[in-house]
Structure 1
Amino acid sequence: MLVSRIIRPYNKLFKREKNIQTRWRDNDIYGHVNNAVYGEWIDSIVNKYLIEKCSLEPLKSPLIGFVVSSHCEYYSPISYPSKISAGLFVKRIEKASAVGGFIHVFVDRINRRPQTINDEMKKQLLSISNIID
């Protein structure tokens, strides 16, 4: 089994990692993982952290996160049957959003308006950042 572990400038920033096994269906006609799959991986690692560490309950929490921006930098192709290590860190925290390669804005479930990130969530997000509060 191949393990993709490409060292890039951001790797030293990662505070949390999740191993992901590529699937046969992830490959596209060019023989590598399709770019859309990377977004799924990012979404999975972010939401796993929010659920496990920030007490997010996607169907019940009064605060929910909307992705308002995302980007991905590709350094080398990956293809099935590789395993990858997806890294997570927070670059910046604002009143209602946390910024990384994915920008999540936390909004009220009912009115969908930005809300202040609560202290516990902010604490957990700071724990995976290089930000000094």
Structure 2
Amino acid sequence: MRMAAHRRADYAHFHPITTRWLDNDAYGHVNNVVYYHWFDTIINELLISGGVLDIVDSSVIGLVIESNCTYFSPVAFPDRITAALRVAALGNSSIRYELAIFCNDDDLAAAQGYVVHVCVERASRQSTPIPLPMRSLLQSIPIPSFAPSQP
């Protein structure tokens, strides 16, 4: 059974992203790999603008250990998109972000998925607890009551 597309109201954090001509593939729509770029963009935009990630100097970084994307409707240049994020689960060192891509002013997601990060020490790549400032920021993004089990 195919999952239903989420609505904008299901998400708490949004970031506009401009499509580019080069995002389109030979089939005339945005290539599937670009959606993962957009997922990375909104996650890192949240962490950087929230002051909890310095991409050069932070001693703790998040590495992707799992990701998924389900596509519902095509997006193509020059569509305007909005990436949306919610935090579905916080473990000791892991974070499950749920994400969606909304096209133009559509209320239903064109695509949605998730990314699981594990926090690691930059130098050693050893798992480490989510730093308290990051945890506080992530806790400020509502966790839906229907969140999946902890990663």
Structure 1, unmatched stretches of 5+, are 1-6
Write the distance in 1 (CA, Å) between the matches of 2:10 and 2:88: 9
User: How far, CA to CA, are the matches of 1:114 and 1:87 in structure 2?
Assistant: 27
CA deviations over 1:57-116 (Å, ceiling 9, x no partner): 111111011011111111100001000111011100000011020111110011101100
Total equivalences in the alignment:
126
State the match for 2:16 in structure 1.
Answer: 19
| 1:127 has 2:140 as partner | yes
Identical-pair percentage: 37
Structure 2, unpaired ranges of 5+: 98-113, 146-151
For residue 38 of structure 1, what is the amino acid of its counterpart? Y
Runs of 4+ in 1 over 4 A off after TM superposition: none
Contact 1:64 1:109 (C-alpha < 8 Å) held by counterparts:
yes
Aligned partner of 2:139: which letter? L
Q: How does 1:34-113 map to 2 (within 5 A)?
A: 34-100=31-97, 101-113=114-126
TM normalised by structure 1 equals: 0.88
TM-score by structure 2 length? Answer: 0.78
Give the aligned residue type for 1:59.
V
Bigger strand fraction: 2
The alignment's C-alpha RMSD in Å is 1.7
Counterpart residue type for residue 127 of structure 2? P
Distance 1:49 1:18 in 2: 9
Output the amino acid matched with 2:132: D
SS at match of 1:46: helix
